[in-house]
Amino acid sequence: MSLALSAWDNIPSPEPAGLHLGENRLDFPGSHARFDSLLCCLRDSSKHVNILHIGGSHVQAGIFPNRLRERIGASRGLLFPWKAIRTNAPTDYSLTPSGTWERSRCIEPLPSEQLGMSGAAAITSDSLASLRLESPARYAFRRLHVIGKAEGGAEPLLLLDGGDTLRAKRQGDDFCFSLRQPDSLCTIAFRGMNGSGRFVLRGIYPETEQRITYSESGVNGASVPSWLRCELLTEELSQLCPPDLVIFGIGINDANVPPSHFNAEAFKASYRTLMDELRKVNPKVCFLFITNNDCFLRVGRQRRTLNRNTQKVEQAMMELARECDGAVWNQFRIMGGYGSSNRWVNAHLMNRDHIHFLRPGYELLADLLFKAISEYSEHSEYSENSEYSENSDHSEFSENSHALGL
């Protein structure tokens, strides 16, 4: 069975001048045996596969992950009430808040709360606080996990549109609601909030019947050290969705410093620590690195210049992938290399800040990554003489792929 679940030729995507489609592939600086095993699981209808996409604002916006999720045919995993903490949210579901909420995020040097797989917490002691969940029918769930810490007698309740009120079973810090039939519309309310009652919500996780689950964890401004502040990351992943594949989109914020201040060795060391934590959850986990996009670096109040750290991050990710037998999807080179963000802005695919993309740009990138994954899946079905055979050497990337498309 091929992973290509929809025809690439049928995907309508605008293309900016200078797009390097020849670079659109998964590169394996080391062995690809781990990914071959992952593909076997994806093709086996009896296997459940968990995907975790972790990063910063490119992930929190939700457009890229959701497009890739739809292409793969996966269900949505982790949800978070971003609007409750006054920031942007994905649009493929809504968690509409009422009442008063405070926040804690992993981008803070010293987060006020313990954080987990969402990288954030929404905190309330308001007796009128609630969250209205509305999601597409394809995300219908039979079990709903409310992840968080209850204090002073606080307790979440699930209010169904049919009129039923459900109480949860405690599973550690996890509150689990079981429904008689699948649903995708409900309200999460709280009781016991009078006096000392307080609830620290770290996420909501719906369980569906689909065998591939794709969770996204993105926090605006997050760097690799940000995710190392999430003390409960591995515990929550172990309980809910041990990842088989982790897609790393972290690096744009780490590199948002003057070139003389970017320390590639410290960057790799932080990544190694994060990968070690994730291996505690699943020793066989596969890592896919997305390189930074071409972007601008602000110098002073008015002046902006091309961020020359982008290629340093690219090289660091290639070295990390070689160490862990991971894969690299080279977004930087696919875009066209240094200066290509100008063309993407002119093609109405990228924001004028030269860092973030517009919806069509994110969707194009997700389509390209899906195509790269699909083609790897198809190549992996070839004979041992295939370019993706176990005896192939892909370490030549750093020497033979320096065309910048300028």
Tens of pLDDT along 138-191?
A: 999 999 999 999 999 999 999 999 899 999 999 877 899 999 999 999 999 999
What would the two tokens of residue 370 be? 């899906």
What pLDDT is recorded for position 403? 23
* Closest C-alpha among 138, 119, 353 to residue 249: 119
| CATH number, domain 17-74+210-395 | 3.40.50.1110
Tens of pLDDT along 181-212?
A: 999 999 999 999 988 899 999 999 999 989 99
Tens of pLDDT along 91-150?
A: 999 999 999 999 999 999 999 999 999 999 999 999 999 999 999 999 999 999 999 999
Query: Is the pLDDT at 3 greater than 90, yes or no?
Result: no
User: Whole-angstrom distance between the N-terminal and C-terminal Cα of the chain?
Assistant: 39
Q: Where are the domains of the chain?
A: 17-74+210-395, 78-208
Does residue 79 or residue 18 have the better pLDDT?
Answer: 79
| CATH number, domain 78-208 | 2.60.120.1360
How far, in Å, CA of 356 to CA of 345, rounded? 10
Q: Please report the DSSP string for 13-60 in residue order.
A: ----TT--GGG-SEE-SS--HHHHHHHHHHH-TT--EEEEEEESHHHH
What pLDDT is recorded for position 97? 98
257 to 27, 271, 340: CA distances (angstroms): 27, 18, 20
What pLDDT is recorded for position 194? 83
How far, in Å, CA of 200 to CA of 177, rounded? 17
